[in-house]
Amino acid sequence: MFTGIVEELGTITAIESLADGARLTVSGPVVTADAKPGDSLSVNGVCLTVVEISDGRFTADVVGETLQRSTLGGLREGDRVNLERAMALGDRLGGHIVQGHVDGTATVLSVDSDGLTRFELPERLSRYLVEKGSITVDGVSLTVVDAAATEFGVAVIPTTAELTTLGLRHPGDPVNLEVDALAKYLEKLAEPQLTSLARGHTPQREDNGGATGRQ
């Protein structure tokens, strides 16, 4: 579990092809300072498991599905990436709850001088975005300024632009998206009731004793 507060801009130093994926070597002295094999690190918003650590670098294996569903498949040696360690119990939640499970990719549409950045996203994800809600872009927790059917905007402050890859993005660049996990869970829980209402049925409330005290 992460918070979307990037700790360090790392660098891809090597990419090794595997039978069904790839092994990345990433330079990140801050996030590797107290990391060990088996720990989770977020790389551009993707939760990866540390395989080895040496001299401020770590290696992580990425399966083929992750390479296809995220922007990690397009990484090259020398690329900069956003890095974050998994949060510890009791840490401040500076951003929002981020799982490191990419829901899809978006494309940068525009970046203006005030930091307003617009993205085109798959329409299937648009229902999870609301004005002033949370969205994770390349592992960065951001607040949605506005959202439409196939695009949304966020305000990237100068500090975020300087300390993350968002300051390196240009129109046409792909980015990883993770929508608010709470929205997905709420949708799943509400789905049976919404389906019943659509069919003209009144959902029945389960009686588990409640105020009557019946067991």
Instruction: Flag whether pLDDT at 198 surpasses 80.
Output: no
Are 22 and 176 spatial neighbours (Cβ–Cβ below 8 Å)?
Answer: no
Q: In the CATH hierarchy, which fold is given to the domain comprising 8-85?
A: Elongation Factor Tu (Ef-tu); domain 3 (2.40.30)
CATH code matching the domain that covers 104-190, chosen among 2.40.10.120, 3.20.20.60, 2.130.10.10, 2.40.30.20:
2.40.30.20
pTM for the structure as a whole: 0.87
Q: Residue ranges per domain, the chain?
A: 8-85, 104-190
Instruction: Flag whether pLDDT at 194 surpasses 90.
Output: no
The structure tokens listed for 163 are: 């300390």
For 117-151, how does the pLDDT look when each residue is reduced to its tens digit (9 = 90+)? 999 999 999 999 999 999 999 999 999 999 999 99
- More confident of the two residues 44 and 97: 44
Decide whether 8-85 matches 104-190 in CATH topology. Answer: yes
Instruction: Flag whether pLDDT at 211 surpasses 50.
Output: no
Report the 3 state secondary structure along the chain: CECCCCCEEEEEEEEEEECCEEEEEEECCCCCCCCCCCCEEEECCEEEEEEEEECCEEEEEEEHHHHHHCHHHHCCCCCEEEEEECCCCCCCCCCCCECCCCCEEEEEEEECCCCEEEEECCHHHHCCCCCCCEEEECCEEEEEEEECCCEEEEECCHHHHHHCHHHHCCCCCEEEEEECHHHHHHHHHHHHHHHHHHCCCCCCCCCCCHHHCCC
Instruction: Flag whether pLDDT at 210 surpasses 70.
Output: no
